[in-house]
Amino acid sequence: MAGKNYKQKIIFGMDSIHVATVDTDGTFGTPVEILGAKACECSFESSEKFEYADNKVVDSDKRVTKGSGKLSVIGLTMEEKALLSGVEVMSGGVAIGATTNAPNLALMFAQNKRDGGKILNVIYSCQFSIPSIQAVSTEEEREAQIVELDFTCLPDINDQLFMYQVDTTDSTADSTMVSKWFTEVQKPKPTAGV
């Protein structure tokens, strides 16, 4: 990447939310778009183990153990609710029962950069809370209802990765990976020549 500048660091906006099913063997289904991106946040928890010798700490091992976050969108279609809940659309609606178990999904989205690039994100194994019912009366002005979906995340079962981010303006970014970001779930690859 050529010399540093502030435009490389300014990130704004969010779009292109996609989710892909995660099969029991860790393979991913085809990503499906969810319209109406508003916000996404995800944080990771870690545990730390200290090794003592000679009456002092001589080593520490700090590892990511799990993650959690929230995805906010303008409403959900019945198909989107079904996908996030792990159920089928039946007779135009979604039924949630005592045996409903939310599936593991890969979550992908993009953030815009001031320099014209994007930050592409994937969180590999998310389990969303079952979408709730929200109803608010209209008073004076109509306002779109925002759906907030809490999720937890664990590492993917094959590579133990929680997430991956790619800067499309980085000279080492794989152009094929970038072009397929929302058609196939992508994993990091070693940078050629480095």
Number of domains in the chain: 1
Is 187 within a domain? Answer: no
Is 194 within a domain? Answer: no
Per residue in 144-193, pLDDT (tens digit) is: 788 899 999 999 999 999 999 999 999 889 999 999 999 999 999 877 65
**Helix then strand then coil, % of the chain, to nearest 5:** 10, 45, 45
| Rounded Cα gap, residues 43 and 66, in angstroms | 9
pLDDT at 194 over 70: no
pLDDT (0 to 100) of residue 2: 57
Is 37 within a domain? Answer: yes
| Rounded Cα gap, residues 77 and 153, in angstroms | 23
How many CB atoms sit inside 10 A of residue 163's CB?
A: 19
Is 168 within a domain? Answer: yes
Is 188 within a domain? Answer: no
Is 185 within a domain? Answer: no
Give residue 67's domain range.
6-51+60-179
pLDDT (0 to 100) of residue 1: 46
Hey, what long-range contacts does 52-59 have (CB within 8 A, 24 or more apart)?
none
| Rounded Cα gap, residues 110 and 167, in angstroms | 10
User: What is the identity of the amino acid at 38?
Assistant: K
